[in-house]
Amino acid sequence: MLTDLTLTEARDRLRAGAITALDLTRACLDHIRAVDPQVRAFLLVTEEQALEAAEAADRRLAQGDDAPLLGIPLAIKDVLTTAGIPTTAGSRILEGFVPPYTATALERLFAAGAIMLGKTNTDEFAMGSSTENSGYVVTRNPWDLERVPGGSSGGSAAAVAARMAPGALGTDTGGSVRQPAALCGVSAIKPSYGRVSRYGLIAFASSLDQIGAFGRTLADCAALLGVMAGHDPKDSTSVPDEPPDYTQALTGDVHGLRVGVPREFFIDGIEPDVERAVRAAIEQFAALGADVREISLPHTRYGIHVYYLIAPAEASANLARFDGVRYGPRAQVKGMWPAYKVTRGQGFGPEVKRRIMLGTYALSAGYYDAYYLKAQKVRTLIRQDFEQAFREVDVILTPATPGTAFRIGEKIDDPLQMYLADIFTLTPSLAGVPAACVPCGFDAHGLPVGLQIIGPAFDEATVLRAGDAYQRVTDWHTRKPQIAESS
């Protein structure tokens, strides 16, 4: 089946003329039609545009064009703006909003020949760990439809897991790419802060947000990242350095690679099956010749506190623009302040409101020093933990999540339990370092377990090399959920 091809395999066959972009795109669209009514990964399928783009890609392929992603269909998280195509960020407050501009990362992918299949579901404004906070629909985990796919990029992760797309884009603020990748059994990378332009990413927390890539292999993610990475004059926080060729970095060799295992990540509350699978993966690295050692990231336990002050603080300002004055639905009530209150009261869901309130509080006069400022100081300590650790090791391996996919509704009324689902992914985000997630096993219920691979700032190449080497000798990433067989 064409939909079983990985992104890299599909690209090679497209170039060889063995398949056409139109056939591949049609196969994806057919599979979406067959599977997505159950999974609900997509908020919008852009079939017409996808088919047009596929035909254009085939023409370019026929002319010998070797653009790196020519003819590759992708699913795009709906927090990335797409000119002329509705973009909602999973929120009712942006219902019907059609941006006149496309995110820089997408422009680069489209210029490289990628084809958008549609926009995928997300927790509202990327706030959540289950995609249950979407203002539109709850996405289901392809491995068990009663369970969540993780979040906030749950739609993209589920789309790749269910073989609806060979690759997808997500965004990651505190784990929103890595955590759903772990829960859906797919590969993903969140690059270093500043590696990929945030222009066109509807901001949740500006100092943390990054666009990441999903694939069935980390090699697929490397191909996507290679196209997206690099300075963008429209994003002053994107770094000026030229990114390396990530695909070339995939040597398969981790001999002598210094691998750190932080003791703070193997804590009470981690599910035994998860710990077992992750420990086994670490053994695998040792077997491949890596130099595995225990390390310490002493401020890890403050990560959740720091994150839930800084991210909501930034969000409280970032979401102030959604007032119904210039775009989006506006409540039809009399008076300026009532219009603000009702528009925002109706447009935002409960989790978004909770975070706006948390953030507003943390920034308020009299509380700023105790909360926001203190959190920034501890964030510096967390960053220094990683700097210190990366003097001794090349990559750090941890579980991506403390547990596997939980049941829909299980944590929705307990925000603190929900927040803990991201406990292992928060600190790399706070430190701005790159981190990948690869499947490394299954629990007793047959649910995937993810291994997190963290690297030094701007050294995505080593992270990708380590994960790719692991995938060359394991087959967890090749397993597919039952539902992917339908159609």
Partner 1 sequence: MTVYEGVIGLEVHAELMTASKMFCGCPVVDSTSAEPNTAVCPVCLGMPGVLPVLNRRAVELGLRVGLALNCEIPPFNQFARKSYFYPDLPKGYQISQYAYPLAINGWLEIDLPDGSVRRVRIRRVHLEEDTGKLTHADGYSLVDLNRAGVPLLEIVTEADLRSAEEAEAYARKLRAILQYLGVNSGDMSKGVLRIEPNISVRPVGSDELRTRTEVKNLNSIRSLARATAYEIERQIAIYESGGEVQQATLGWDEARQVTAVQRVKESADDYRYFPEPDLPVLEISREWVEQVRAGLPELPDAKRERFMRELGLSRYDASLLVADRAVADYYEAALAAGGDPKQVANYLTGEIFRQMNLEGRDRDDIGAIRLTPQALAALVRLVQDGVIHHGVAKKLLVRLYEEGGDPVALVEAEGLAQVSDEGAIGAVIEQVLVDHPDEVTRYLAGEEKLLQFLMGAAMRALRGQGDPAVVRRLLAERLAARRAE
Instruction: Indicate whether 103 belongs to the interface with partner 1 (CB under 8 A).
Output: yes
3-state percent helix, strand, coil for the chain, nearest multiple of 5: 45, 15, 45
Residue span binding partner 1 (CB under 8 A) among the ranges 55-63, 67-75, 284-292, 314-322: 314-322
Q: Which of 91, 134, 152, 238 is catalytic?
A: 152
Check binding of 326 to partner 1 (CB under 8 A).
yes
β partners of residue 75: 118, 168
**48-77 residues near partner 1, rule: CB under 8 A:** none
Select the span of 59-67, 194-202, 218-226, 386-394 touching partner 1 (CB under 8 A): 194-202
Q: Stretches 157-165, 173-181, 300-308, 312-320: which one binds partner 1 (CB under 8 A)?
A: 312-320
CA 179 distance to own-chain centroid:
8
Site string for partner 1, 397-426 (x = CB under 8 A): ------------------------------
Tell me which residues in 366-395 interact with partner 1 (CB under 8 A). Answer: 368, 372
Alpha helix stretches (DSSP H) within 303-414:
303-318, 336-347, 350-363, 374-389
Choosing from 176, 238, 316, 429, the catalytic residue is: 176
The 199-228 contact track toward partner 1, x by CB under 8 A, reads xxxxx-xxx---------------------
Assess whether 77 carries a catalytic annotation.
yes
Query: Which residues are within 8 A (CB) of 219 and not within 5 positions of it... i.e. 6 or more apart?
Result: 6, 8, 247, 250, 464, 468, 471
Binding status of residue 100 toward partner 1 by CB under 8 A:
yes
The DSSP letter of residue 64 is T
Across the beta sheet with 210-215, what order do the strands follow?
A: 42-45, 115-120, 73-77, 167-172, 210-215, 187-190, 435-442, 448-454, 395-399, 258-262, 291-295
Contact 405, 443 (CB under 8 A): no
Site for partner 1 in 76-95 (CB under 8 A): 79-81, 87, 89, 94
Is 411 known to be catalytic? no
Stated as kind and residue range, the H or E segment containing 436 is strand 435-442
For partner 1, the closer of residues 250 and 362 by Cβ is: 362
By CB under 8 A, name the one of 147, 198, 216, 355 that touches partner 1.
198
Q: Is 234 in the site for partner 1 (CB under 8 A)?
A: yes
Helix pair angle (21-39, 7-16), 10° resolution: 150
Neighbours of 189 (CB within 10 A): 33
Catalytic residues: 77, 152, 176
Q: Enumerate binding residues for partner 1 (CB under 8 A).
A: 79-81, 87, 89, 94, 97, 99-101, 103, 198-203, 205-207, 233-237, 313-314, 316-317, 319-323, 325-327, 336, 340, 360, 363-365, 368, 372
